[in-house]
Amino acid sequence: MHNIARAFIDHPEIPIFLALAGGYFFGRFQYKGLGLGAVTATLLCGVILGAVFQTGGDSIHIDGVVKQVFFLLFLFALGYKLGPQFFSGLKGDGLPQAVFTVILIVVGLATVIVLAKVLDYDPGLAAGLASGALTQSAIIGVAQTSIADLNIGADTMRQWQDLVSVGYAVTYIFGTIGAAIYCGSIAPRLLGIRDLPASAKDLEKKLGFREEVADVLPAYDQIVRRSYRIVRGLPERHGEGMTVTEIEDFLRQETGGRVSIAQVRHDGKIVPAAADLRVFPGDDVAVSGRREWVIGGPITDLCEEVDDPDLLSYPLEELDVVLTKHSVDGMTIGQASADPDFRGVYLKRIMRAGHEIPIASEVKLRQGDEVRLVGERHLIENTVALVGYPERTTPETDMVTVGLGVAVGALIGLPTLMVENIPLSLTTSVGALLMGLLIGWRRSKSPTFGRIPPGAQWFFEGVGLTAFIAIVGITSGPGFIKGLQNYGVSLFLAGVVVTMVPLVLMTFMARYVFKFDPVLTLGMLTGAQTTTAAVGSVREAAKSSVPLLGFTVPYAIGNIFLSIGGAVVVAFMA
């Protein structure tokens, strides 16, 4: 053991990677959708490594610059991802949800400060309480940076910084499990929901949401293509010719969905299906649309299916597109599907702030949304020009923007304002977060710079945070057990109060003050408190993903303001 400890002390990079490996391994285990997650598991693995592998009075030391580099990358990537949704949430119908989120955060942080004052906690323990009970890991780094800027001795600074991770580890478990149980089981009753699955189904019908497309047919492609032979004309004029537009309009009226004709075989020749092209009995048509609209049903009133491979051999494209145009911001999916400019183009997925949201006719599209479109290649290219910017597969990251963004953001956070001998500043951490927000938002408007592909974004955000947490755990390990012994019980109970007070209070405000839809309120609660684990609990209880429509705006706002909350708590407690 002595030799291993010596090796870890001399080469601290080894325990960092061991903590990452252990964190990602143990973090993936779940029970009924609940688990530690990679961040908390990495912290615990780091604490164990730091506490166990000491020898001769020496412990594992890791330069603070390494920790800060990872944390700044994480914060910049977080801001970059949430930027479009953050600014979108500050206007229009997202504004009430943004105000709701800010109030919840103010209540949560105020509860932390009051309890910390009553229990005589130092700034580090108070910040750890906020981080764990409100399930916002970013508070750890922001608080530790703020503590480092205080005019205190080195030993006190180290003690307070170590206690941040103690507070997080003790309170995070209930912060996650308690919020999940509350949002999935208790909040629906307080909101007046007697039957949550039934209420969710009612909202689905109101929004035109088709849950069965995504869930019942997961083994099939949602958008299918078939070749049919026209055997009859329209019902009111059998045997006569009809235009492509007339056929598509008839099928829309009969099915309630969009069916498009791509090509027509007439007199043995294949021609593109122009809107005014006349089609006659005996002609073959290549039809595309969602499975339930194209296979069987009203289409058989006009056609019979035939096998025509050549007719179906036209170029298709499936492409992720970032919405940047003002013309589509606020447009509902139903309005877009009825727009002739988007004929033959189908929506398969919407990603907003890193989360997939349900597709429903009344769901509004927002600038910054990443949508997956499928259709004929030339139609997709035409649509892209009208709505935004294509996210074509490429491994390259614009490191010029990333490097300058983090550096400039950190510089912005450096200036300090003295208030009653207490230094107040944005800190380099919050500066990097705000610069990420700005660049992410700007890229959604003009996506010609700042590309960070999904893999790189996952690394910056995911590994940036867990590597930072691993170092926090390793360096705080020697003092972790003592801190846990001194504060464990009172800290856990304080965490219960901090988790529950804002959730319960905002449940009643959502019902009686904001008057939000009760099903969507469940998504707002989980988003505002950034409790992603509770999303699964709500979805399972509702037997629907429709509550997620209330999740994305509060989640974007909550991540930003809670992260800054670490500095606020330290400032009030210093």
**Using an 8 Å Cβ cutoff, are 66 and 471 in contact?**
yes
Structural domain boundaries, residue 529: 70-205+397-573
Same domain? For 57 and 74 the reply is no
163 is a domain residue = yes
Res. 218 pLDDT band, cuts 50 70 90:
very low
Average pLDDT over residues 41-61: 85
Q: Which of 277, 312, 347 is the last residue of a domain?
A: 312
Would you say residue 134 has pLDDT above 90? yes
Helix H or strand E encompassing 427? helix 427-445
Residue range 412-469, pLDDT digits in tens: 988 867 665 555 667 788 889 889 989 988 887 777 788 888 889 899 999 999 998 8
The more confident residue out of 35 and 179 is 179
366 is a domain residue = yes
Same domain? For 426 and 541 the reply is yes
Average pLDDT over residues 94-121: 94
Average pLDDT over residues 1-7: 84
Would you say residue 240 has pLDDT above 70? no
**Using an 8 Å Cβ cutoff, are 510 and 521 in contact?**
yes
Helix H or strand E encompassing 147? helix 138-148
261 is a domain residue = yes
Triad 396, 413, 105: Cα angle to 5°: 90
Q: What is the pLDDT of residue 221?
A: 61
What is the maximum alpha-carbon separation in the chain?
Answer: 96
Closest to 328 measured CA to CA, from 382, 365, 372, 381: 365
Same domain? For 158 and 34 the reply is no
User: pTM for this structure?
Assistant: 0.71
Task: Give the span between the Cα atoms of 564 and 282, in whole angstroms.
Answer: 68
191 is a domain residue = yes
Same domain? For 234 and 127 the reply is no
Would you say residue 201 has pLDDT above 70? yes
Would you say residue 217 has pLDDT above 70? no
Task: Give the span between the Cα atoms of 574 and 571, in whole angstroms.
Answer: 5
Q: What is the pLDDT of residue 234?
A: 66
| Domain containing residue 385: CATH number | 3.30.70.1450
Same domain? For 79 and 190 the reply is yes
Tally of domains within the chain = 4
Would you say residue 291 has pLDDT above 80? no
214 is a domain residue = no
Average pLDDT over residues 7-13: 92
Task: Give the span between the Cα atoms of 292 and 102, in whole angstroms.
Answer: 43
217 is a domain residue = no
Where b means 16+ CB within 10 Å and e means fewer, 91-117 reads eeebebbbebbebbbebbbebbbebbe
- Per mean pLDDT, which range of 45-49, 95-99, 140-144, 481-485 is the poorest? 481-485
Percent of the chain with pLDDT strictly greater than 70: 93
211 is a domain residue = no
